[in-house]
Amino acid sequence: MSNNNSHNSSNVQEQQQQTLSALSNELESFLRSFKDRGGNYKYFDKINNMIATSSTSVTIDYIDFDSFNPLLAKNITHEPDEMLAAFSEAVVSILGEIHPDYAYDIKDHIRVRIGNYAVQKGLRDINADVINKLLGVSGMVVRSSEVKPFGKKIAYRCLNCNQVNLSQLKGLSLKKPQRCINCSEKELEMDIENSLFIDFQLVRLQELPEDLPAGQLPHYIEVTILGDLVDQCRPGDRIMLTGIIRIDQESSFNSGNSNSQIRTSLFKLRMEGNNIEYLGGRAGDKKTRSIERISISAEDERQILAISKKPDIYEKLISSFASHVYGHEVIKESILLLIVGSVNKKLDDGSTRRGDINILLVGDPGTAKSEMLKFAAKIAPRGLYTSGRGSTAAGLTAAVIKDKSGMMMLEAGAVVLGDQGLVCIDEFDKIKAEDRSALHEVMEQQTCSVAKGGIVATLNARTSILSAANPMYGKYDPYKNITENVNLPIPLLTRFDIVYVIRDLPEKDKDSRIASHILEIHKDAQRTSKAAINIDFFSKYLAFAKQLAEPELTREAITLIRDYYMTMRNVDSDSMITVTPRQLEGLVRLSTARARLLLKDKVEKEDAERSIFLVQRMLETAGVDVNTGKVDLGVLHGKPFSEISRLKLFMEIFSSLSGEDKNDVEENIFIVELGKTGKFTESDARSFIKKAMNDGQIYERKPGFYSKA
């Protein structure tokens, strides 16, 4: 009876072999004979080039295959395992004729990937009906594990008779053979020489925000990625993943005994990755999303270079940025310079010079700050948008989390994901102080260091930060300096190259223009918000400009920036220092960014002039000391110099009155002396005395008499 059974099973195996080889013959003829529009043998050339690129996979366009044999193309969806195995065999057979040695070396690793796959489903639609079928799913990578070796087949050697026993893979679990097939000996040890290992990585794919139905949480699925697909996608990438839906049995622990696992009849879905394609970052409908990371073709490059030669290109770029927001040209221009940025310089001694520009917008509510931030995040080659209240230090920089296996893993936060891109932080003033302090290092050193749970790491965070904050009292108070208007620590403020104050002042003409602009958009959204440059092309233009090498500074530009800096250091020479070397570097960054935006290889005089104009605009709004009405960058650094010099004078007079014997100073005499300098009124003098007492510089020994602390 058993003989009969084994006879039947061998028959079935033979039939399967025959169908597999018949199938692979058919697929081989497709791979050999398919020609593209140019008349080239598309796939035969690809296989021929495998040894040159030392690749182990061939990507096949589903549309090509469908046009060649629609019936077999249907089979790919319903019986992907058989079809992909037959495809691999066909590739091995063709490669064996061209490069037999290479074919023999990689025959176990050859993969066929299906690109441009037509059967696409949302993450929500993956259910029990699609198990073991091939699907395309779009989503965002939110987590990827480390790469580990995965045993595809493991050989065990018998210690008694040296026979090699293979254990085969079932899903993700391997069964070790109980005894040797030759001599039934139970002592078996692993034989690594004859085993086959491939790279393995787990990735979590989450639904794209624009595909989320109202009021739902995003779904996610775990994806296992093997072979040369590992490390192809990073957290934050939007991808189109083609893969086979698999199931794994869940095990639960026995309630009585915590060690014994029971297999339940519940299974969980997972996906086995077959191919990864990138979606463009535009939020379009599902059909028009482009498949590459922003890739610039030769045709695009030609157009970009052609358009950059036009005399009005600079105005066009600015007007195309968030064209649905009226006005704010200077701010739009600065944000464009921020997206393109300057180049990070590495010096010989290993230190770096920051090339990224940081901008802070402080303004009244309703001045379209968030609109500009959102638009910048959408159009930048790598842009992330986050808002204040929901962001913690770990979410902005990096978090250390405990994995299922108990390992500590590092998970990247916003500024690390936005490396070499742009991070927009809205509601900057609403982030808790302790969380915001994580940004100090990011903004100047451009790294982000973590020391937690045994992980000590420094991650790159070469990102530009564009943030928006509201003034403390709802509206900006023009009678107070910026540090009193915004609830931000001073060291953080000085790290912004540009701080703009946007005020909402009623002006009849401007208001009527804004009103008609907004109402026009509501009336006919398509026509009025048409930009001069199409948004996809705009994105490519910025990506292209960002890839350019650093333009050189010309002598005229250097002289101009230097003269401006020297003038600013010496405002009315009343020992007032208004700018610091940080601003000088900021000027260089802005000029370089403008030259790159216009695709020039030299920073010319006009670039320097424009950067000086932008900084001057900032000084006129944010850098004016309200006490003197003069431009004074000291206001960004905490105390305007007018106040510092008055404080110095105050203490000098106090010291001269108390003399060397440290006598008590009488209040009335002191106030008269302060009045004589012409810098203090009586009320000023009294408030200064109060302030000095609060600061602990002087104290009251007896009523009306003060002594130095």
Q: Are strands 134-144 and 238-253 parallel, antiparallel or unpaired?
A: antiparallel
Q: Which CATH superfamily is domain 298-549 in?
A: P-loop containing nucleotide triphosphate hydrolases (3.40.50.300)
Strands annotated E in 575-657: 602-603
Whole-angstrom Cα distance, residue 685 to residue 691?
A: 10
Which residues face 226 on adjacent strands? 200
Select from 46, 142, 116, 70 the least CA-distant residue to 395. Answer: 142
Structure tokens at 136: 């395309």
- Percentage of the chain beyond pLDDT 70 is 84
Per-residue model confidence as pLDDT tens digits over 42-78: 888 888 888 888 888 888 988 888 888 888 888 899 9
Q: Are strands 464-469 and 359-363 parallel, antiparallel or unpaired?
A: parallel
Q: What share of the chain is helix, strand, coil (3-state, %, to 5)?
A: 40, 25, 35
First vs last Cα of the chain: how many Å apart? 108
pLDDT, average across residues 468-487: 82
* Residue whose token pair is 């087949």: 153
Strands annotated E in 560-606: 602-603
The pLDDT-based confidence of 668 (bands split at 50, 70, 90) is confident
Structure tokens at 452: 């937690």
The pLDDT-based confidence of 461 (bands split at 50, 70, 90) is confident
DSSP, residue by residue, 298-321:
HHHHHHHHHHHTSTTHHHHHHHHT
Is the pLDDT confidence value at 624 over 70?
A: no
- Model pLDDT, residue 661: 67
Backbone dihedral region of 591: left (phi > 0), alpha (psi from -120 to 50 degrees) or beta? alpha
Q: 641-708 has which CATH code?
A: 1.10.10.10
Run of H or E residues at 72: helix 70-78
Is the pLDDT confidence value at 162 over 80?
A: yes
- Dihedral sign for Cα 512, 516, 517, 519, please: positive
Q: HSE on the CB side for 484, CA within 13 Å?
A: 12
Structure tokens at 646: 């008055």
Q: Do 46 and 55 touch, CB atoms closer than 8 A?
A: no
Per-residue model confidence as pLDDT tens digits over 560-615: 989 888 887 765 555 444 567 878 888 888 898 998 888 888 888 888 898 888 88
Q: Do 149 and 201 touch, CB atoms closer than 8 A?
A: no
Is the pLDDT confidence value at 287 over 50?
A: no
Who has greater pLDDT, 300 or 266?
Answer: 266
pLDDT, average across residues 320-336: 85
pLDDT, average across residues 528-552: 79
Q: Which residues of 362-376 are buried (b: 16+ CB within 10 A; e: fewer)?
A: bbbeebbbbebbebb
- Model pLDDT, residue 348: 85
Select from 96, 77, 120, 79 the least CA-distant residue to 31. Answer: 96
Who has greater pLDDT, 50 or 478?
Answer: 50
Residue 476, SS3 per DSSP: coil
Who has greater pLDDT, 358 or 490?
Answer: 358
Whole-angstrom Cα distance, residue 277 to residue 630?
A: 56
Is the pLDDT confidence value at 440 over 70?
A: yes
Is the pLDDT confidence value at 430 over 50?
A: yes
Structure tokens at 671: 């106030």
- Percentage of the chain beyond pLDDT 90 is 6
- Model pLDDT, residue 271: 92
Q: Do 647 and 655 touch, CB atoms closer than 8 A?
A: no
Residue 274 vs residues 96, 135, 188, 502: alpha-carbon distances, Å: 23, 10, 34, 50
- Dihedral sign for Cα 258, 263, 267, 273, please: positive
- Model pLDDT, residue 272: 92
How many angstroms from the chain centroid is the CA of residue 458? Answer: 17
What type of residue is 381?
Answer: P
Q: Which residues of 87-122 are buried (b: 16+ CB within 10 A; e: fewer)?
A: bbbbbbbbbeeebeeebeebeebbbbbbbbbebeeb
The pLDDT-based confidence of 136 (bands split at 50, 70, 90) is very high
Whole-angstrom Cα distance, residue 341 to residue 495?
A: 15
Whole-angstrom Cα distance, residue 166 to residue 193?
A: 12
Average pLDDT, the chain: 80
Q: Are strands 498-502 and 359-363 parallel, antiparallel or unpaired?
A: parallel
Who has greater pLDDT, 40 or 286?
Answer: 40
- Model pLDDT, residue 282: 41
As assigned by CATH, the class of the 120-254+269-278 domain is mainly beta
Domains in the chain: boundaries? 12-115, 120-254+269-278, 298-549, 641-708
- Model pLDDT, residue 705: 73
As assigned by CATH, the class of the 12-115 domain is alpha beta
Is the pLDDT confidence value at 36 over 70?
A: yes
* Residue whose token pair is 């000095």: 692
- Using CB atoms within 10 Å of the CB of residue 595, give its burial: 0 to 12 exposed, 13 to 18 middle, 19+ buried: buried
